[in-house]
Amino acid sequence: MSKFAEDIAKFNGIYKLPVNAQPTLEVGVPAAERLLAFKDILIEEVHEIDEIITALKEGKEPLEALTMLADLLGDIQVYCASEMAKFGLPLDQVLSIIMQSNFSKLGADGLPIYDERGKVMKGPNYWKPEPKIRELLEGQQGLA
């Protein structure tokens, strides 16, 4: 477990948020209710992007805008990681699988493929991460 994952578990513990050692949908409230609350939190965070855009348009110094951006992106990562701890999802292992899947998106020539927005597109050797994530979760103790 990474230091970040350990800190997330510590954070959840301090703030009396669930920390589950095994994958579960039992988080103290119905999972759908918890996910709706999580969605609302993320939407609030995403709206902070508008503040950064305004700051840039108003000519804020680059370091101030970068600081705002780092705080926003860091908060989003912490919220997501905290949610994973609540549901007992193994943060480091899941992220590793997703990153390996992302590496599989390269084109046949070994180069990235982008759309007009700069989003990375899927190449011919792309594989979906979900089957490997499912296999990981099936292998977690107590999950059948």
Q: pLDDT by residue (tens digit) across 87-133?
A: 999 999 999 999 999 999 999 999 999 999 999 999 999 999 999 99
Max Cα distance, the chain (Å): 55
Q: Which domains does the chain have, with CATH numbers?
A: 1-89 (1.10.3420.10), 90-144 (no CATH)
Look at residues 131, 130, 89 and name the one whose alpha carbon lies nearest to residue 1. Answer: 89
CB atoms closer than 10 angstroms to residue 114: 10
Structure tokens that stand for 57 in this block: 């348009």
H/E element holding 7? helix 3-14
Three-class SS state of 96: helix
Q: Which residue has the tokens 């919220």?
A: 79
Q: How confident is the model at residue 143 (pLDDT cuts 50, 70, 90)?
A: low
pTM reported for the whole predicted model:
0.88
